[in-house]
Chains A and B, each alone.
Chain A
Amino acid sequence: MAAEREPPPLGDARPPELEELEDGEDLFTSTVSTLESSPSSPEPASLPAEDISTNSNGPKPAEIILDDDREDLFAEATEEVSLDSPEREPILSPDPTPAITPVTPTTLVTPRMESKSVSAPVIFDRSREEIEEEANGDLFDLEINVSDPEKVGDGMNAYMAYRVTTKTSLSMFHKNEFSVKRRFSDFLGLHSKLATKYLHVGYIVPPAPEKSIVGMTKVKVGKEDSSSTEFVEKRRAALERYLQRTVKHPTLLQDPDLRQFLESSELPRAVNTQALSGAGILRMVNKAADAVNKMTIKMNESDAWFEEKQQQFENLDQQLKKLHASVEALVCHRKELSANTAAFAKSAAMLGNSEDHTALSRALSQLAEVEEKIDQLHQEQAFADFYVFSELLGDYIRLIAAVKGVFDHRMKCWQKWQDAQVTLQKKREAEAKLQLANKPDKLQQAKDEIKEWETKVQQGERDFEQISKTIRKEVGRFERERVKDFKTVIIKYLESLVQTQQQLIKYWEAFLPEAKAIA
C-alpha cells in the first residue's frame, strides 16, 4: 500500500489530521479516560519556550527512522506505530503528497536530513498533546542497561563503577549501541542538572536513588559478604530503573546533558553532589527555607484540579509508605523462615541417618531434601518480594515526593506573580504621589519602573499559566506510567508466587510415594 504514495518533498510535509487515524482511538484507549481535564486545543506555539532554549541541538526528529527507500517512506512508519497489533490500518490517509509543514520550531515535526537515514514527522495532530506523548512512548526505541558493577580503587577513596549500555535506533545519538562507565555520583550529578533545569517549570524529574553511607562504606572497606553484594545489586537495579524512567520522559530525553551522560566516555566529576560539600550544605539550607516558605504561602487556588490532585497524591503517598513498610517486614521474616527451614532440613537428615528402619530412614532423608529445596524456594521468594514489589513502592514514594515538589514550585511561581502585582501597585501609587508632588524628573523614573513591573507581572502570569499547563500534562503522563508500572509489577509478582507453588507441588508429589513406601 505504501508503494502508491509518493515520498513527500523533504522539509515540506503536513502531518495528516488525527481523525484520519482509523485506529487512533484504539491506540490510546488506556489514556483517553484520564484526559477529562486536558486542555481543549492549545496552539502549538504555546509549547514551553524552555524546550527550545535548552534544546540547542535543534528539534529532535521523530522516532521513526526510515531507510533510504523512498517508496516505503511511510511503510516503516506504519510498522513502527503498529507495535501492538500487526493488523492495524496504515496510519496515513491515501493522500499521495502530504505536505509536511513544521508547525512550530520545536521538536517532533521537522524532518532532518542525515546521510544515513531520513526521518519522517510524527504524524499526530498537535492538538492531542497527551496522545502524542503516548505516541512517543509507543515509538520509543531506546534500551538502557546498567550492569557489571566493578570496584575501582582502594580504601575510603574506592568507588563502584557501573557500565551503562545503550541500544537505540534514535538518530540523535551518534551510534546505535554504545556503553560507558559511570559511578554513583555521576548519576546524582545528572539528576541535579536535570532538576535544576526542569523542576521549577513543572516537569516531574525522576529522582535518583538514595545515597547510603553505611552501604557504601561496607563496600569500600571491602567486606565481601552477602549483604554488601546485595547492596551493590540493589543499587545497580535502582540506577537502571532511574535511567529507564528518565529516558522515557520525552522532554528529558532531548536534554544534551542526558545525552552526554549516556554517550561520552569521560564525564566531569560531579563534586557538588557530595553531602558535605558547599553545594550540599547550600541545598540543605534551601530545603529548609523552602519548607518555611511553603507554610507561609496561602494560595488562592482558582483551579480545583490542582487541589484535588495534590490531595490525591498526599493520600497515595501515605498509603504507599504504609504498604512499603509492611512489605519490608515480610521480606525480613521470609529470610528468617528460610534460615530455620535450612536448619530443620539438616536436623531431619541426621535423624534419618540414626533411624534403623531402612524405609523410614530413607523417607526421612527424602523429607530433609524436600525441606532443603523448600528453603531455597523461600529465599527466591524473598528476592521476588523485595526486588519486584518493595523496590517499586520505594521508587514511587520518591517519585511522588518529586511530584509534590513540582506542585510547590507552582505555588512559588504564583507567589512571585502576586508579589510582582503588589510591587506594581506600589509603584503606581508612588507615581500617583509624584504626580501630585509635581517632580517631573523623578516622575519619568517612576513611569519607567511601572513599565518594568507591568512586564514582570505579565511574565509572572504567563509563567504561572505555563507551569500549570505543564504540570497537568506531566501528571497525566505520570499517572499513565504509574498505572502501567504497577500493573506490570503486580503481575510479575503474582507469576513468581505461582512458580513457587508449582515447585512446592512438584516436591511434595515426589515425596509422597517415599512416605507411602514405609513398611
Chain B
Amino acid sequence: MEEPLEMPPGEEGKPCPLSGELPADPSLQVEISDAVSERDKVKFTVQTKSSLPHFTRPVLSVVRQHEEFVWLHDTFSENDEYAGIIIPPAPPRPDFEASREKLQRLGEGNSTLTREEFAKMKQELEGEYLAIFKKTVAMHEVFLQRLAAHPVLRRDHNFYVFLEYDQDLSVRGKNRKELLGGFFRNIVKSADEVLITGVSGLKEVDEFFEHERTFLLEYHTRVRDTCLKADRVMRSHKSTWGLAEDYIPISVALGSLGTQEVRQLQMSFLKLAELFEWLRKLEGRAASDEDLKLSDLLKYYMRDSQAAKDLLYRRLRALADYENANKALDRARMRNKEVKPAEAHQQLCCQRFERLSASAKQELTDFKSRRISAFRKNLIELAELELKHAKASSLLLRNTLIALKGDDA
C-alpha cells in the first residue's frame, strides 16, 4: 500500500520527546522529512541541514531503509572507540504485519458487516495503520537526532556517509553467518551479565558504578515488565475503542433503531448513536495518546537502559582485562621475562579502563537526566491529554443528557 506521509513543516529543532530536550544545534540538524511504505519496505527520506565543512552541500537529502539504520547502529556498537558511550538504541523494525492482516481480512469481504460498519472499520484500521507509520518514522528520527546531538558520535565517518551518500549503501540484510555471529555475541553478552551481576567476584571499587549497576539491573527488568503490561492495556483499549469492534456495531445498530423506531424513541436512539460515534473517536484519540506518551516512553527506556547496561558490561570487561593485565605483569616480573611488553599491555588496559570509566560516568549521568526529563515531559503531557479527553467526553455526555431529558414529554 502506498502511504506517502507528509511530515508537517517546522518540525526541525523540536525537542525530541523521548530523549529529553536536545539542543537545537544549527550546525547539524537531521530529520526525516518524508516516508513511503511500499509493500514490505519503508523508505525514509533523511534530510540534513548542516554548516559543517564535512558535507558537500548545506542541505542534503537521501533515501534510507530500515536495514541501513541497523547497519549504522552496529558500526557504532562494534567500534571500540565508542566503548565508553551509550550507543543510542537502534529503531525497531517497522511492523505493519498485524495491521495489514486486519485490513486484508476486512477487505476479504466479511459479509456480516453492513456497508456502514465496513466503512467505519476501514477508517479505524487505516487510522491505526497511519499511527503505526508515524511511530516508526518517529523512532528512526529519534535515533538519528541523538547521534547528531552527541558530541563524539556526530563526528563519525559512517554517520556522514549515511547522511550524504545518495546511492544505496548496499547493506543487505544479515546473512546466516552474520546472524549466527550475532547469536554468539549474545551468548558472550550473557557471560558479561554474569560478570556484571558480580558473581565472578570482580571487585568494583567505584561506588558510583556499584550503585549504577544495581540500579540499572533492576530498573531494566521493571521497565520491561511495565512496558509489556502497558502494551496489553493498549491492545484492550483498541478492542474496546480503537478497532471499535464493539462500538461500531453498537452505533450502527442504534442508528438504524433510531430511524425505525416509534417517534418517541427516535430522538433517544439517534442521539445515543451519535454519542457512541463521538465517544469512539474521542476514546480512540485518548488511547493513541496514551500509547504515545506511556507505551512508547517505556519502550524507549527499556532499550536505552539496555544500552546503558551494555556500557557497563564493556567497562567491566575492560576492568577484567586490566586486572588480567596486572596479574600478567606480576607474573612476568616474577619470572623476569617479557616484562616490557607486559608493562605496555598493562598500561594500555589501564588507560582504556580509565577512559571508559570517565566517559561512562558522564554518559550515565546524562542518561539519568535524559530519562527524568523525558518521563516528566511525557507524564505531564499524558495527564493533560487525559484531562482534555475526559472533559470533552463529559461535556458531550452532559449535552446529550440535556437533549434527551428535554425531549421527555
A residues in contact (CB < 8 Å) with B:
29-30, 33-34, 315-316, 319-320, 322-323, 326-327, 329-330, 333-334, 336-337, 340-341, 343-344, 346-348, 350-351, 353-357, 360, 363-364, 367, 479, 482-483, 486-487, 490-491, 494-495, 497-498, 501-502, 504-505, 508-509, 511-512, 515-516, 518
Taking a contact as CB atoms closer than 8 A, the residue among A322, A354, A508 that contacts B222 in the complex is A354
Residues of chain B with a CB closer than 8 A to A329's CB: 245-246
Rounded to whole angstroms, the CA-CA distance of A340 and B256 in the bound complex is: 33
Rounded to whole angstroms, the CA-CA distance of A363 and B230 in the bound complex is: 17
Residues of chain B with a CB closer than 8 A to A330's CB: 240, 246-247, 250
Q: Are A323 and B250 in contact (CB under 8 A)?
A: yes
Rounded to whole angstroms, the CA-CA distance of A354 and B260 in the bound complex is: 58
Specify the chain A residue showing the minimal Cβ separation from B384: A512
Rounded to whole angstroms, the CA-CA distance of A449 and B207 in the bound complex is: 116
CB contacts between A and B, total, < 8 Å: 159
Specify the chain A residue showing the minimal Cβ separation from B236: A337
Interface centre among A34, A327, A505 (most CB of B within 10 A): A505
Interface positions of B from 272 to 313, Cβ below 8 Å from A? 272, 275
Select the stretch in B44-52, B121-129, B337-345, B397-405 that faces chain A: B397-405
B residues in contact (CB < 8 Å) with A:
211, 215, 218-219, 222-223, 225-226, 228-230, 232-233, 235-237, 239-240, 245-247, 249-250, 253-254, 256-257, 260-265, 268, 272, 275, 368, 372, 375-376, 379-380, 382-384, 386-387, 390-391, 393-394, 397-398, 400-401, 404-405, 408-409
Rounded to whole angstroms, the CA-CA distance of A452 and B393 in the bound complex is: 71
Contact A336:B260 (CB < 8 A) given known A491-B401, A518-B375: no
Q: Are A323 and B254 in contact (CB under 8 A)?
A: yes
Going nearest first, the 5 A-B pairs with the smallest beta carbon separation are A337-B236, A515-B379, A501-B394, A344-B229, A518-B376
Q: Are A505 and B390 in contact (CB under 8 A)?
A: yes
Residues of chain A with a CB closer than 8 A to B226's CB: 344, 347-348, 350-351
Chain B nearest CB from A149 CB (Å) reads: 31
Q: Are B236 and A508 in contact (CB under 8 A)?
A: no
Taking a contact as CB atoms closer than 8 A, the residue among B225, B239, B265, B387 that contacts A333 in the complex is B239
Residues of chain A with a CB closer than 8 A to B393's CB: 497, 501
Jot down 14 A-B pairs with beta carbons below 8 A, ordered by A: A34-B264, A322-B253, A323-B253, A323-B254, A333-B246, A336-B239, A347-B228, A351-B226, A354-B218, A357-B372, A490-B404, A491-B404, A502-B394, A508-B390
Rounded to whole angstroms, the CA-CA distance of A490 and B266 in the bound complex is: 12
Contact A508:B387 (CB < 8 A) given known A340-B229, A518-B376: yes
Rounded to whole angstroms, the CA-CA distance of A479 and B261 in the bound complex is: 11
Summarize A's interface: helix, strand, loop or mixed: helix
Q: Are B401 and A505 in contact (CB under 8 A)?
A: no
Rounded to whole angstroms, the CA-CA distance of A142 and B122 in the bound complex is: 52
Q: Are B380 and A497 in contact (CB under 8 A)?
A: no
Taking a contact as CB atoms closer than 8 A, the residue among B222, B379, B405 that contacts A491 in the complex is B405
Q: Are A515 and B246 in contact (CB under 8 A)?
A: no
Rounded to whole angstroms, the CA-CA distance of A337 and B261 in the bound complex is: 33
Chain A nearest CB from B343 CB (Å) reads: 40
Summarize B's interface: helix, strand, loop or mixed: helix
Q: Are B409 and A498 in contact (CB under 8 A)?
A: no
Q: Are A326 and B379 in contact (CB under 8 A)?
A: no
Rounded to whole angstroms, the CA-CA distance of A334 and B260 in the bound complex is: 29
Contact A334:B240 (CB < 8 A) given known A329-B245, A491-B404: yes
Taking a contact as CB atoms closer than 8 A, the residue among B235, B272, B376 that contacts A360 in the complex is B376
Specify the chain A residue showing the minimal Cβ separation from B232: A340
Taking a contact as CB atoms closer than 8 A, the residue among A326, A357, A490 that contacts B246 in the complex is A326
Residues of chain A with a CB closer than 8 A to B223's CB: 351
Rounded to whole angstroms, the CA-CA distance of A329 and B215 in the bound complex is: 43
Rounded to whole angstroms, the CA-CA distance of A341 and B404 in the bound complex is: 33
Q: Are B408 and A487 in contact (CB under 8 A)?
A: yes
Q: Are B401 and A344 in contact (CB under 8 A)?
A: no
Residues of chain A with a CB closer than 8 A to B391's CB: 501, 505
Rounded to whole angstroms, the CA-CA distance of A354 and B220 in the bound complex is: 9
Q: Are B268 and A490 in contact (CB under 8 A)?
A: yes
Q: Are B387 and A505 in contact (CB under 8 A)?
A: yes
Residues of chain A with a CB closer than 8 A to B250's CB: 323, 326-327, 330
Residues of chain B with a CB closer than 8 A to A323's CB: 250, 253-254, 257
Q: Are B225 and A347 in contact (CB under 8 A)?
A: yes
Rounded to whole angstroms, the CA-CA distance of A34 and B261 in the bound complex is: 13
Specify the chain B residue showing the minimal Cβ separation from A491: B404
Q: Are B272 and A347 in contact (CB under 8 A)?
A: no
Rounded to whole angstroms, the CA-CA distance of A364 and B249 in the bound complex is: 37
Please name 8 further chain A to chain B contacts, defined as beta carbons within 8 Å, in addition to the given A333-B236, A344-B233, sorted by A numbering: A322-B249, A326-B246, A364-B375, A483-B264, A487-B408, A491-B404, A505-B387, A518-B375
Chain B nearest CB from A463 CB (Å) reads: 29
Chain B nearest CB from A22 CB (Å) reads: 18
Contact A479:B225 (CB < 8 A) given known A330-B250, A363-B379, A490-B404: no
Taking a contact as CB atoms closer than 8 A, the residue among B261, B264, B272, B401 that contacts A498 in the complex is B401
Rounded to whole angstroms, the CA-CA distance of A512 and B240 in the bound complex is: 26
Residues of chain B with a CB closer than 8 A to A346's CB: 229
Residues of chain A with a CB closer than 8 A to B404's CB: 487, 490-491, 494
Residues of chain B with a CB closer than 8 A to A30's CB: 264, 409
Specify the chain B residue showing the minimal Cβ separation from A515: B379
Rounded to whole angstroms, the CA-CA distance of A344 and B225 in the bound complex is: 9
Rounded to whole angstroms, the CA-CA distance of A336 and B253 in the bound complex is: 23
Rounded to whole angstroms, the CA-CA distance of A320 and B260 in the bound complex is: 12
Chain A nearest CB from B375 CB (Å) reads: 6
Rounded to whole angstroms, the CA-CA distance of A323 and B258 in the bound complex is: 12
Specify the chain B residue showing the minimal Cβ separation from A327: B250
Taking a contact as CB atoms closer than 8 A, the residue among A343, A364, A487, A490 that contacts B232 in the complex is A343
Rounded to whole angstroms, the CA-CA distance of A341 and B391 in the bound complex is: 21
Q: Are A515 and B376 in contact (CB under 8 A)?
A: yes
Contact A357:B233 (CB < 8 A) given known A326-B246, A483-B265, A515-B376: no
Q: Are A479 and B394 in contact (CB under 8 A)?
A: no
Chain A nearest CB from B79 CB (Å) reads: 30
